[in-house]
Amino acid sequence: MITSNSFNEQNKPAACGSSRIVGCRFSLFPMSGHFVPIILGALENTDTSKVWIKSDDISTCVRGRHEHVFDVVQSIFLQAAKSGEHVVLSATFSVGCPGDTEGDVFMSEDDVRLNKDTGSAVDTAVQFALYPMGVPHYMDVIYNAVKTAEIEGTFSGGIHYASRLDGDAHQVFRSLENAFVASSIQTSHLVMTATISCNSPSAKPDHVQNKGE
């Protein structure tokens, strides 16, 4: 995995006076009549002390160092997945947004992740898209991220407007984080969207044939 030092040391330039704080706004959708305790339980059982976090009736936003943002989002997803219900998490990650400074105090946290492995493997599917802002070589940034996911064994095909990852939840989150961090080094402002699903009753679509699109 790309280390925090590689992100913090190489990725110093920032556009329009923006900080390098990483943020993620996400919504969690358990396909269950018991969605309230699943969502609240996932939040309560995740250590969020190293991130700025705020929830409303639509979504939750977490902000801080990239390792803690991804740690928290992954933990919340895995805690919800333990219910055995079909769970979908829709997320937008961002770094370098101009004027984005609220919660910068959390950038002084160390890189030790607080949330422990849940101990169970969960087959997970992801559709994600990268949006490198303000760089003419943006397609190279995207292609490089896809190539890395291929090497990691999680990339399972290109689809319209996204790329697909499949594997254990820990593996696909690692690929998402690596793609985000590596791409952020090449641009001052990066956005990544991801739709993450587990325990789906639907058969996997024939996405493999779309590789290389």
Residues annotated within a binding site: 28, 60
- Reference 195, options 122, 123, 128; nearest CA is 128
Distance CA 95, CA 190 (A): 5
Give how far the C-alpha of residue 145 lies from the chain's centroid of Cα atoms, to the nearest Å.
14
Alpha helices per DSSP H over 26-104: 35-44, 66-81
Q: Which residues make up each annotated binding site for thiamine? A: 28, 60
Distance CA 166, CA 168 (A): 7
For residue 184, the surrounding DSSP H or E stretch is helix 169-184
Half-sphere exposure of 190 (CA within 13 A, CB side): 27
